[in-house]
Amino acid sequence: MAGRSRSGKPFAKRSLGQNFLVDQNVIRKIVAALGDIGQSLVIEIGPGRGALTETLVDAAKCYAAIELDRVFAASLSAKFSDRSDVRVFEQDVLDSDLRDIVDVFDEYTDIRIVANLPYNISTAVLEKLSATELGYRDAVLMFQKEVVDRITAKPGNKSRGYLSVITEASFETEFLFDVSPRSFRPVPRVNSAVVRVVPRSQEVVTRTPEFRRMLSIGFQQKRKTLANNLKNLQEVDDGRELVESIGLERSIRGEQLTLAQWIELVRLIYPELEGGPS
């Protein structure tokens, strides 16, 4: 049995990166960011103790929770056991087929996603959301501030990296607001922030494993030039010749490239890939 606090609520588990949102003002701001959800299916990833859940359930047409923690999943299931419009799925979101979850419901007009994500799965969840064909309208997500800085970093910013480019290729991103560590229990050592991501039409090549592998190698050692990193790709004979072929200086680093330049590179490295928009 999980340990519990004096209030009877389960303690946070470090192994799952759990920090529970307790600030009612932040909760109201997150729900307000979703706007009118009266006809929406809302999917909440990692509801934990349910700080947002009751408000979302009351406002939405229907609601699905994806919760890995067995104790929290059971608690939420029991609390809403009389609601046919509420389902709690005890599973790891990274292993979930979101389409199976959506298929449980009907009579909604759009899909909205909301989540407070621990640092250790932020990249993986964003990649999953970027690759899914769920057709959701948007996602309001809370991350550690460092992750938000990476997500929103523009070319030339030292924070720009693999996650920045994947996010730019997949979403229109809007920074919403910062969240103080004092808004959580236990109090984390880092600041957080909330963003909205809206799926965008992607170039076919940005959905491919080849594009993601190229990015991963391109940012592998950020102190090295892009040309030096890219020569670690089996398909690249001369990294310097490759970057110069699209008009870049051989001394350029990965964080300096635009999304369009990354796309141009992947088409040169893998000319067999489709090139049109999806």
* CATH number of the domain where residue 85 is located: 3.40.50.150
Instruction: Indicate whether 194 and 241 sit together in one domain.
Output: no
Instruction: Indicate whether 90 and 51 sit together in one domain.
Output: yes
Instruction: Indicate whether 86 and 59 sit together in one domain.
Output: yes
CA triple 126-275-147, angle to 5 deg: 20
Instruction: Indicate whether 185 and 48 sit together in one domain.
Output: yes
Instruction: Indicate whether 48 and 119 sit together in one domain.
Output: yes
Tell me which residue range forms the domain holding 213.
Answer: 205-269
Count structural domains, the chain.
2
Average pLDDT over residues 9-28: 72
Say how far apart CA 17 and CA 123 lie, in whole Å. 14
Tell me whether residue 1 is in a domain.
Answer: no
Instruction: Indicate whether 237 and 149 sit together in one domain.
Output: no
Which domain-ending residue is among 149, 172, 200? 200
Which domain-ending residue is among 144, 166, 200? 200
Task: Report the CATH number that the domain containing residue 218 is assigned in CATH.
Answer: 1.10.8.100
Which domain-ending residue is among 170, 200, 230? 200
pLDDT band at 173 (very low <50, low <70, confident <90, very high): very high
Tell me whether residue 88 is in a domain.
Answer: yes
Instruction: Indicate whether 104 and 169 sit together in one domain.
Output: yes
183-189 LR contacts (CB < 8 Å, sep 24+): 183/21, 183/22, 183/23, 183/26, 184/19, 184/20, 184/21, 184/22, 184/23, 185/12, 185/19, 185/20, 185/22, 186/12, 186/19, 187/19, 188/19, 188/144
pLDDT band at 117 (very low <50, low <70, confident <90, very high): confident
Is the bond preceding residue 118 a cis peptide, omega within 30 degrees?
A: no
**What is the model's pLDDT at position 9?**
53
Cβ atoms of 225 and 252 within 8 Å: the answer is yes
Residue range 186-213, pLDDT digits in tens: 999 999 999 999 999 999 999 999 999 9
Instruction: Indicate whether 196 and 75 sit together in one domain.
Output: yes
Instruction: Indicate whether 216 and 192 sit together in one domain.
Output: no
Tell me whether residue 277 is in a domain.
Answer: no
Query: How many CA atoms, within 13 angstroms, populate the side-chain half-sphere of residue 170?
Result: 29
pLDDT band at 17 (very low <50, low <70, confident <90, very high): low
Rounded to two decimals, the pTM is 0.89
Instruction: Indicate whether 66 and 143 sit together in one domain.
Output: yes
